[in-house]
């Protein structure tokens, strides 16, 4: 099969047996006989997105999302690989046995390729053989929380657990992703028992100040110094999930990187597209942790992205059921924290980013090459000879309204914070390993995604 496209000049990508076999500047008019040629004219052909932070919640909470709905939404949004988080599913993915349950649940249901993070919790951190079993079974790395996760069977880890986990991960050369917020009480800090207006977003924002992120990251940086070349944790890598604070927390990460620590950081579209000032009273679709901060913070976060201080983007797609989002009560303190977004990674990032000067090359690095490399997926994330033919074809300038008529494939479309927005950048077609999994608004009849296991 050949794909022709005209972006920065004509381009032809040749695909055979799921892999890219040539990338040629210019249109190749004559191919082998019987070879299928798709001409995309002036649409953009880019590597499919690799979303390394997605909660698919199956098994156990399929009513929240699920492999079928989540990966169909991913395919419709040009996301060709997702890496599933070890929590919100039940049981959580914290052992070889629970990973097996994930794999069984995913069978014949996934429309894009799916990798898995395992969970680092106190129990397995203190039992190396459980962790080794989980890593040997193929999780791409581990994830832990420095504050309560909101899920009973996923307890938070202390720095001691994190160090234990890193010493195992160092041998496997796989990363630890950390939810870096550390609860502490300060003078202005209102906690959940205080009587602020629960429908006001500011009440919630004040319960999770930037100093929570700063405190957690400061502790982590004390550990990442040992990941430097020659250090006691050489080979280990710490990745800070969903950074929201673009001030002191970011400065700490920059400093650690300047010393050669093996550390990276992601942020998410909701921190780049929204600001606290614009969140309506009672609209709990916008509740997440760490919280969406003010417009100045957002601007600084975009600057950090464009200057390369933020390594990659991910969705932290974390949906739930309408009942737990408490939309009617609009109670920001009691509602589930998590933003539903997976299908909109590409248009949301583009619509917001182009106002700040984001280029297509940067977009592609942040959403494909960098996350693929981070997760150890060498054959993904770039249109290059030998790579998987994971491709999104899209029209960056095509605008659309996310209204009730728009085909949203997520389990609960109405819960997404992006509904009602006008976005720029419509996906035409999505290929996963050469299979056309989404074409002009329709999915392929069969789910041809495969699970990705580390060797």
Ligand X SMILES: NC(=O)N[C@H]1NC(=O)NC1=O
Q: Using CB under 6 A as the criterion, which residues of the chain lie in contact with ligand X when the complex forms?
A: 55, 87-88, 149-151, 179, 288-289, 316, 318, 337-338
Give the contacts of 195 (CB within 8 A, at least 6 positions apart). none
Alpha-carbon distance values, 439 to 342, 392, 422, 425 (Å): 18, 10, 22, 15
* E strands, 86-210, in order: 113-116, 118-119, 142-145, 175-179
* For ligand X, the closer CB: 242 or 433: 242
Helix (H, G, I), strand (E, B) or coil at 367: helix
| Nearest of 86, 60, 59, 82 to residue 70 by alpha carbon | 82
CB of residue 287 vs ligand X: minimum separation in angstroms?
7
d(CA 88, CA 154): 9
415-444 residues in contact with Zn ion (CB under 5 A) are none
CB of residue 352 vs Zn ion: minimum separation in angstroms?
20
* For ligand X, the closer CB: 224 or 318: 318
* For Zn ion, the closer CB: 164 or 316: 316
d(CA 444, CA 57): 23
* For ligand X, the closer CB: 88 or 387: 88
Q: What is the CA radius of gyration of the chain?
A: 21
CB of residue 204 vs ligand X: minimum separation in angstroms?
11
Give the contacts of 193 (CB within 8 A, at least 6 positions apart). none
| Nearest of 388, 316, 305 to residue 345 by alpha carbon | 316
Which of 179, 182, 198, 380 touches Zn ion (CB under 5 A)? Answer: 179
CB of residue 189 vs Zn ion: minimum separation in angstroms?
20
Site string (256-295) toward Zn ion, x via CB under 5 A: ----------------------------------------
CB of residue 415 vs ligand X: minimum separation in angstroms?
13
Give the one entry of ligand X, Zn ion, none that residue 337 binds, where binding means its C-beta sits below a cut-off of 5 to 8 angstroms depending on kind. ligand X
Strand bridging mode 44-47 / 37-39: unpaired
* For ligand X, the closer CB: 291 or 425: 291
Give the one entry of ligand X, Zn ion, none that residue 161 binds, where binding means its C-beta sits below a cut-off of 5 to 8 angstroms depending on kind. none
Which residue in the shown chain puts its C-beta closest to ligand X? Answer: 288
Give the one entry of ligand X, Zn ion, none that residue 338 binds, where binding means its C-beta sits below a cut-off of 5 to 8 angstroms depending on kind. ligand X
CB of residue 268 vs ligand X: minimum separation in angstroms?
9
- Residue holding tokens 């950081």? 265
Q: Where are the alpha helices (DSSP H) in 327-412?
A: 345-353, 360-364, 370-374
* For Zn ion, the closer CB: 139 or 432: 139
Contact call for residues 180 and 239 (beta carbons, < 8 A):
no
Interface with Zn ion, residue 316, by CB under 5 A: yes
Q: How many residues are present in the chain?
A: 455
* For ligand X, the closer CB: 43 or 288: 288
Interface with Zn ion, residue 161, by CB under 5 A: no
Give the one entry of Zn ion, ligand X, none that residue 288 binds, where binding means its C-beta sits below a cut-off of 5 to 8 angstroms depending on kind. ligand X
CB of residue 214 vs ligand X: minimum separation in angstroms?
17
* For ligand X, the closer CB: 55 or 198: 55
CB of residue 88 vs Zn ion: minimum separation in angstroms?
8
d(CA 324, CA 335): 6
Give the one entry of Zn ion, ligand X, none that residue 150 binds, where binding means its C-beta sits below a cut-off of 5 to 8 angstroms depending on kind. ligand X
* For Zn ion, the closer CB: 52 or 365: 52
- Residue holding tokens 């054959």? 379
At what angle are helices 210-224 and 248-258 packed, to 10 degrees? 10
Please spell the DSSP secondary structure of 88-117, one letter per residue: SSSS-S-SHHHHHHHHHHHTTT-SSEEEEP
CB of residue 89 vs ligand X: minimum separation in angstroms?
10
Q: Binding residues for Zn ion, per CB under 5 A?
A: 179, 316
């Amino acid at each position: 099969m050949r794909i022709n496209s005209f972006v920065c000049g004509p381009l032809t990508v040749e695909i055979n047996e799921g892999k890219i076999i040539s990338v040629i500047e210019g249109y190749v008019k004559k191919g082998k006989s019987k070879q299928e040629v798709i001409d995309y004219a002036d649409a953009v052909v880019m590597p499919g997105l690799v979303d390394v932070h997605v909660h698919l919640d199956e098994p156990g909470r399929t009513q929240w999302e699920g492999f079928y709905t989540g990966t169909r939404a991913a395919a419709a949004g040009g996301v060709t690989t997702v890496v599933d988080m070890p929590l919100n599913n039940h049981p959580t993915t914290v052992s070889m046995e629970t990973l097996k349950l994930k794999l069984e649940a995913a069978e014949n249901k996934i429309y894009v390729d799916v990798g898995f993070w395992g969970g680092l919790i106190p129990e397995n951190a203190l039992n190396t053989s459980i962790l080794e079993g989980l890593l040997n079974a193929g999780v791409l790395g581990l994830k832990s929380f420095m504050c309560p996760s909101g899920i009973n069977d996923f307890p938070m880890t202390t720095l001691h657990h994190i160090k234990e986990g890193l010493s195992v991960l160092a041998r496997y050369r796989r990363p630890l992703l950390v939810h870096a917020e550390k609860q502490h009480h300060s003078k202005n800090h209102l906690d959940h028992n205080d009587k602020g207006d629960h429908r006001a977003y500011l009440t919630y924002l004040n319960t999770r100040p930037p100093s929570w992120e700063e405190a957690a990251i400061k502790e982590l940086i004390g550990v990442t110094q040992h990941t430097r070349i020659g250090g006691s944790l050489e080979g280990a890598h710490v990745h800070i999930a969903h950074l929201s604070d673009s001030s002191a927390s970011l400065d700490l990460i920059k400093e650690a990187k300047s010393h050669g620590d093996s550390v990276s950081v992601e942020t998410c579209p909701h921190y780049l597209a929204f600001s606290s000032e614009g969140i309506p009273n009672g609209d709990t679709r916008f509740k997440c942790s760490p919280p969406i901060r003010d417009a100045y913070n957002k601007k600084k976060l975009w600057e950090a992205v464009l200057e390369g201080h933020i390594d990659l983007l991910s969705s932290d797609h974390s949906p739930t059921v309408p009942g737990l989002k408490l939309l009617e009560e609009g109670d920001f303190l009691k509602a589930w924290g998590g933003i539903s977004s997976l299908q909109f990674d590409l248009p949301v990032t583009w619509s917001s980013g182009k106002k700040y000067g984001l280029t297509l090359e940067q977009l592609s690095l942040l959403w494909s090459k960098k996350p693929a490399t981070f997760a150890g997926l060498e054959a993904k994330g770039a249109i290059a000879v030998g790579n998987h033919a994971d491709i999104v074809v899209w029209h960056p300038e095509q605008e659309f309204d996310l209204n009730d008529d728009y085909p949203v494939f997520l389990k609960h479309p109405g819960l997404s914070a992006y509904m009602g927005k006008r976005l720029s950048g419509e996906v035409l077609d999505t290929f996963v390993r050469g299979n056309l999994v989404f074409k002009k608004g329709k999915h392929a009849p069969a789910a041809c995604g495969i699970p990705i296991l580390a060797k």
